[in-house]
Amino acid sequence: MHPSSFEYFAPTKMEEALELLSKYGEDAKIMSGGQSLIPLLKLRIASFPYVIDISGVQGLNRITENKEFLEIGALTTISSIADSELIKKRYQILHEAAGQIADPLIRNRGTIGGNISHGDPSNDIPAVAIALKANLEVIGKEGKRIVEAHSFVTDSFTNVLKVGEILNKIRIPVAPDNSGGCYIKQKKSAGDFSVAAIAVQLSLHDNDSVKSAGIGLTSVAPKPTRAMKAERFLEGKKINDSVVREAAKIVVSESDPSTDFYGSSEFKRKVLGKIAEEAINLSFERATVR
Amino acid sequence: MSELKWGDRELAYDSSAFVRGSGHYVDDIKLPGMIHMSVLRSPYARARILSLKGGMSSKDLGARMASVGEGASPEAGLSIEPVFATGFVNYVGEPVAAVFADDRYKSTDLLESIEVDYEPLEPVVTIDDALKLGPIHSGRKDNIMVETSKGTDFQDPESPIVIEDTLENDRISANPIEPRGIVTSYTDGMLNVWISTQAVHSVKEGLVESLGISPESVRVMQTDTGGGFGSKGGLYPEYVMASYASMKFGKPVKWIETRREHLASTNPGRGVRGKVKIFAERNGRINGLKGEVTIDAGAYDSGIASFSPGFVAMQMTGPYSIEKAFVVARALFTNKVPQGPYRGAGRPEASFFIERMMDMLADELAMDPADLRLLNMSDKPFVSPMGLKIDAARPFFEGAVRELEYRRESKMSRGVGLSFFVLVPAVYPGESARIIVKDGKVSVWLGGNSHGQGHEIFVKKLINEELQVPEELVTLYRGDTGMTKTGVGTWGSRSAIVAGAAIVAVCKKIKQEVEKEFGSYSVRSLLSSGYDEFINNELKMPLNSFGANLATVEIEKMGRVRVKKCAAYYDVGRALNRDMVIGQIQGGMAQGIGQTLHEGLFYNKEGQLITSSISDAGVPLAEDLPNFIVNIVENRSFLPHGAKGLGEAPTVGVPTALTRAIESVSGKRLRRTPVTPEELMK
């Protein structure tokens, strides 16, 4: 539990952070809350000569809403998200997911940007970002660019960020009326990662048929997964038992879980199927509360 | 942290220090010039070492091989773990080389400078592999480490009911809060060792054998020990390395285990399979039992492998009066870390096998499990065909059924499990104690030391009873081979029995001395003079006791089990301190729940440990625990102070009761621990 030596920087401005990042390139690693990185360093699963701690960078821990977007700074802690009245009231799915991440100590330090950037297929926020069709704002010395949430994480612990880039903001489109969503996480024990988890967000037409669906999956593939076929299947349909069952089957077909000590891939598919049904039903219920 | 001057400072043992945060653990020791040791471990379950460059390794130790140091025949020599892997590695986590630096960051860095070339070989990972594949150690004809039998073989009786099944407890890590650790210092021909341990004398004897030095030149002192649960009972390769290094470099050496190392390299417990066949009449009366016990013993004999198979087999009829029984038992080599004792150490396994079979037989006959058990118990003491001595079981069990309110519980819900067992404490061969009376104070040492049990509480109480010395004048010191010539250790539910008896015996000796000097005994006379008495108090008679547990559960969604109630009814003999007894039982019940629902060490086909963090290894969390209900029965033992064994009772009784409760509610036949959500969702 003793990391190899590294040089530590704690910039307070984004420009300084980007400067350091461009100077040290692939030898540098960005740290925000450190809740995933520090264990990796201590176990020497990873080592970096330069660690750039951006947790002191100003202005990146705000939660704001305008007509189009809910905007969350990348350094916003998971507990700030879990505690936000705005998010609790209008983005229940995100509120639910944040409150189920690890334990209070980790939530107090861990950030939304870190949770997404780390690329761990068991991290919860990416699936929620996928379901909410979030845009991720990435910043580099050359400027900013937008990446869609579902294409941000490209493989286990790998993302689209180029050398010199940092995830800056998470933008979630303001949900139209008649929308509802939920995050259901099945875990072995308190504070643990999930066996399987699912984020579902539904928007309904006035006649209660599905206008748009967003479905993101956690822990059931090498990366956070968008269940796109299930989304398309649901769109335009009215929710009833057989539709939900069929949609859950499609969700399972879009997963690719591995066998580990949480259980066999078969078991995880079974769990995913059950929570998918539960999540679609609950999202629909929430979307129809007027 | 302040620098501790060990050796000068008092080594008094005081449990309240742990609550106050002022315990002194081995990692608190800082000696001038001390260097840190890090250990390079095998990444393969089985491989040939083609070349090795850097660090201290087997070639530095010459012919020294033994880790446990039990006098070995040439054949047994193959089964004893070398200090450093020699030519081959046989489990993931096996020590290959060690490096030293003046701090732990640097010694960890140095690990990267060691160059090893391995040629991976096909590993033997499971019990089935071990029976099917060739031997892991060349020079042996198969993977059978030891094979023995208990009881007498008999012709299958013509019973109308015959049931047979295979049951298993997966391996689990002891996972004490404090992992293993040692500090060694060699000065003026004397090797001083400070260590987190259950038994200073075992460590000393092992070092003497392994290093080939005289007993007079080694002193092993216990530091505060943050739990052991069996895993810190004996010698490990790292202790030999650290001792040898301090002799070679002339500097104090410290080694502190990481949690990863603990999970990979500290001897885990369980890992036992039992195949049991029961012959019975239609009314439920059992005519006979046949069984096979197979232990996944790992790559080497940790020191208990030769003893374990017979010990499990001996207990396979449990508290029941089964007249015919025969059990074949063996330990098998696999390419995994050597298996060792873990709270219960053979007792929970045997109990799991017989209790699961009793429940299955009850189901087969559509009988109530408690009634079936009652039918197979004696009103009189009974000696099993395997030599297990038990008292009259029926009166105790009737009391248990009543006090645990089993009948009411089983009417109220389906999810009820009841277990019954006989606890077989490790009484043999007794224990040592020393008392020094000087300057009006009484100082005490025991051959086996506390690693969380709170020995000082019963020591003070018994000395007060025997010699009327006020408790505040009595101090128990930590284990120290410099203060006790011989000693055994703390394990196997033995301390209240054997250490208690040793204290009483040494008190009697002192009392006689006082009477000789003063004509009669008084506490004033005692404290006004000086005495120093040591006794090696032999105890060889078994001292078994009964216990029963009741558990109730609910199964929540996705196969998650919620334990609602966990109750105990144990005969602890005379409870020397009720709070300590209750604490022992509650802690043990938590571990019993852990084994049943959460804990397991899992390896993949390549023999890689998958559960490599404490979270993955599944220790129970607060939210997993119910309210505990503890019923204490005090039937005094034949010993003067009346104590019986206790420590392991809950890990024997809880897994069986809990597994039955889950089985009753799920309707699924359960054959192994841990019981996983996956199994319940099938």
pLDDT in tens, B534-545: 999 999 999 999
User: pLDDT tier at B86 (50, 70, 90 boundaries)?
Assistant: confident
| CA–CA dist A194, A97 (Å, integer) | 11
Residue B143 φ/ψ, nearest 5 degrees: -95, 20
Supply the pLDDT for residue B187.
94
Q: Kindly report the number of other CB atoms within 10 A of residue B3's CB atom.
A: 10
* Cβ within 8 Å of A, B 587-606: 598, 600, 602
Out of A112-126, B297-311, B528-542, least confident range: B297-311
Which residue in B380, B391, B451, B452 sits closest to B424, CA to CA? B391
Query: How many Cα atoms are found within 13 Å in the side-chain-facing hemisphere of A101?
Result: 34
Mean pLDDT for the stretch of residues B563-583:
96
Tokens of B298: 């790992």
Supply the pLDDT for residue B73.
40
Q: Is the pLDDT of residue B71 over 50?
A: no
Tokens of B15: 């449990």
**3-state SS, residue B421:** strand
Q: Which domains does chain B have, with CATH numbers?
A: 16-121+180-256 (3.90.1170.50), 272-424+542-681 (3.30.365.10), 430-538 (3.30.365.10)
Partners of residue B598 in chain A, C-beta under 8 Å:
188-189
Cβ atoms of residues B448 and B486 within 8 Å: no
Interface touch B104/A43, C-beta < 8 Å: no
Mean pLDDT for the stretch of residues B349-361:
98
Q: Is the pLDDT of residue B84 over 90?
A: yes
Supply the pLDDT for residue B18.
83
Mean pLDDT of all residues in chain A? 96
Mean pLDDT for the stretch of residues B349-353:
98
Mean pLDDT of all residues in chain B? 94
Cβ atoms of residues B392 and B376 within 8 Å: no
Q: Is A45 on the interface with B (CB under 8 A)?
A: no
Supply the pLDDT for residue B62.
67
Angle between helices A241-253 and A265-288 (to 10 degrees): 140
Q: Is the pLDDT of residue A37 over 50?
A: yes
Mean pLDDT for the stretch of residues B187-203:
96
Partners of residue B602 in chain A, C-beta under 8 Å:
261
Of the residues A4, A267, A278, the best mutation for testing chain B's interface (the one with the most B CB atoms within 10 Å of its CB) is A267
Q: How many residues does chain A have?
A: 290
Q: Cα B166 to chain center, whole Å?
A: 24
C-alpha distances in Å from residue B534, one per residue of B126, B485, B508:
47, 8, 11
Q: Considering chain A, what percentage of its residues have pLDDT values greater than 90?
A: 97
Interface touch B621/A274, C-beta < 8 Å: no
Tokens 């006379």 locate to B525
Cβ atoms of residues A79 and A104 within 8 Å: yes
Supply the pLDDT for residue B64.
54
Residue A168 φ/ψ, nearest 5 degrees: -105, -50
Q: Considering chain A, what percentage of its residues have pLDDT values greater than 70?
A: 100
Cβ atoms of residues B209 and B65 within 8 Å: no
| CA–CA dist B613, B617 (Å, integer) | 6
List, in order, residues 6 or more apart from B228 with CB less than 8 Å away: B174, B176, B196, B197, B198, B451, B452, B490, B491
Give the 3-state secondary structure of B256-280: ECCHHHHHHHCCCECCEEEEEEEEE
> Pick from A2, A190, A263: which is nearest to B678 by CB?
A263
User: pLDDT tier at B21 (50, 70, 90 boundaries)?
Assistant: confident
Which residue in B245, B198, B242, B253 sits closest to B224, CA to CA? B198
Partners of residue A274 in chain B, C-beta under 8 Å:
557-558
E strand intervals along chain A: 7-9, 28-31, 50-53, 63-65, 69-73, 135-140, 143-148, 153-155, 158-159, 166-173, 179-187, 194-204, 210-218, 225-226
Question: Is the model more confident about B352 or about B1?
Answer: B352
| CA–CA dist B633, B13 (Å, integer) | 29
Q: Is the pLDDT of residue B70 over 70?
A: no
Q: Kindly report the number of other CB atoms within 10 A of residue B273's CB atom.
A: 22
Question: Is the model more confident about B74 or about A101?
Answer: A101
Q: Is B105 on the interface with A (CB under 8 A)?
A: yes
Q: Is the pLDDT of residue B78 over 90?
A: no
Partners of residue A275 in chain B, C-beta under 8 Å:
558
Read off the pLDDT of residues B579-610 as tens digits, 9 standing for 90 and up. Answer: 999 999 999 999 999 999 999 999 999 999 99
Tokens of B147: 């094979």
Query: How many Cα atoms are found within 13 Å in the side-chain-facing hemisphere of A4?
Result: 12
Read off the pLDDT of residues B612-646 as tens digits, 9 standing for 90 and up. Answer: 999 999 999 999 999 899 999 999 999 999 999 99
Q: Is the pLDDT of residue B79 over 50?
A: yes
Q: Which domains does chain A have, with CATH numbers?
A: 7-53 (3.30.43.10), 63-173 (3.30.465.10), 179-288 (3.30.390.50)
| CA–CA dist A172, A215 (Å, integer) | 14
User: pLDDT tier at A129 (50, 70, 90 boundaries)?
Assistant: very high
Find the closest chain A residue to B674 by CA distance.
A261
Percent helix, strand and coil across chain A, each to the nearest 5: 40, 30, 35
C-alpha distances in Å from residue B207, one per residue of B5, B214, B222, B307:
24, 10, 15, 21
Read off the pLDDT of residues B258-281 as tens digits, 9 standing for 90 and up. Answer: 999 999 999 999 999 999 999 999
Mean pLDDT for the stretch of residues B8-12:
54
Q: Cα B303 to chain center, whole Å?
A: 12
| CA–CA dist A183, B557 (Å, integer) | 16
- Amino acid identity for residue B174 in this structure: A
| CA–CA dist B289, B350 (Å, integer) | 13
Q: Is A263 on the interface with B (CB under 8 A)?
A: yes
Q: Is A205 on the interface with B (CB under 8 A)?
A: no
Q: Considering chain B, what percentage of its residues have pLDDT values greater than 90?
A: 89
Q: Is the pLDDT of residue B107 over 50?
A: yes
Read off the pLDDT of residues B551-567 as tens digits, 9 standing for 90 and up. Answer: 999 999 899 999 999 99
Partners of residue B623 in chain A, C-beta under 8 Å:
189-190
Read off the pLDDT of residues A77-109 as tens digits, 9 standing for 90 and up. Answer: 999 999 999 999 999 999 999 999 999 999 999
Find the Cα–Cα–Cα–Cα dihedral A77, A79, A80, A84, rounded to 10°: 150
| CA–CA dist B215, B457 (Å, integer) | 31
Supply the pLDDT for residue B460.
97
Read off the pLDDT of residues A26-35 as tens digits, 9 standing for 90 and up. Answer: 999 999 999 9
> Using omega within 30 degrees of 0 as the cis cutoff, is the peptide bond preceding A49 cis?
no
Which ipTM score applies to this complex? Answer: 0.91
User: B11-17: which pairs have CB atoms within 8 A and are 24 or more residues apart?
Assistant: B11/B221, B11/B222, B11/B477, B11/B478, B11/B480, B12/B475, B12/B476, B12/B477, B12/B478, B13/B224, B13/B449, B13/B450, B13/B455, B13/B456, B13/B476, B13/B477, B13/B478, B14/B456, B15/B450, B15/B452, B15/B454, B15/B456, B15/B457, B17/B224
- Nearest-Cα distance to chain A for B445, in Å, is 35
Mean pLDDT for the stretch of residues A234-247:
97
Q: What is the sign of the dihedral through the CA atoms of A187, A193, A196 and A198?
A: positive
Out of B210-214, B353-357, B404-408, B671-675, least confident range: B210-214
Question: Is the model more confident about B414 or about A53?
Answer: A53
Interface touch A260/B610, C-beta < 8 Å: yes
Q: Is the pLDDT of residue B223 over 70?
A: yes
